[in-house]
Amino acid sequence: MKPESPGGIARRDLLLAAATLPLALTPARAAELPAAHNLKDELASALARREPLVLMVSLEGCAFCKIVRNNYLAPMHQEERLHVAQVDMRTRTRVLDFQGKAVTHDDLARQWKIRIAPTVLFFGRGGAEVAERLVGGYIQDFYGAYLDQRLAQARASIK
């Protein structure tokens, strides 16, 4: 049984809401990431700039996905020209995978064994993952540092 506040809301839910409120109230610098369409071409474009391809696997309605997208990845995509795209779990949106085969976003999430949204992946030559996945978005105090560390690892592996 969950401990509840006087209003019937679970204490854990109140703490979670309070912890994410500052980021939720921060005006979003950017709201969208492009959907992945052709991973082979997107990877080639990223590698041509000597950068990894960064993919965020998200889930419709996921509050943590919104925070990661709006406060971290979309600004990096727009301001730093980092090649970032989004794959939506549980959607039938078509995409070409790294081999040029037509699949859905949901197929990719299952192939990559992703169970938690958001999950951020970093790809290098041949569609190989070149840094540890960044799973979840509940660590907002340290998320930027974890993301920077993974990007540094990915960049070092493709140089």
Tokens of 37: 């369409």
Residue 102 within a domain: yes
Q: What is the pLDDT of residue 140?
A: 67
Residue 38 lies in a domain: yes
Smallest Cα–Cα separation from 72: which of 3, 137, 10, 116? 137
Bigger pLDDT: 41 or 141? Answer: 41
Q: What is this structure's pTM? A: 0.79
Q: What is the pLDDT of residues 29-48, one digit of tens each?
A: 445 899 999 999 999 999 99
Provide the CA 98 distance to its chain's centre, in angstroms.
18
Residue 110 lies in a domain: yes
CATH number at residue 72: 3.40.30.10
Report the domain count for the chain. 1
Whether 9 maps to a domain, the answer reads: no
SS3 state at 130: coil
For residue 84, the 8-state DSSP code is: E
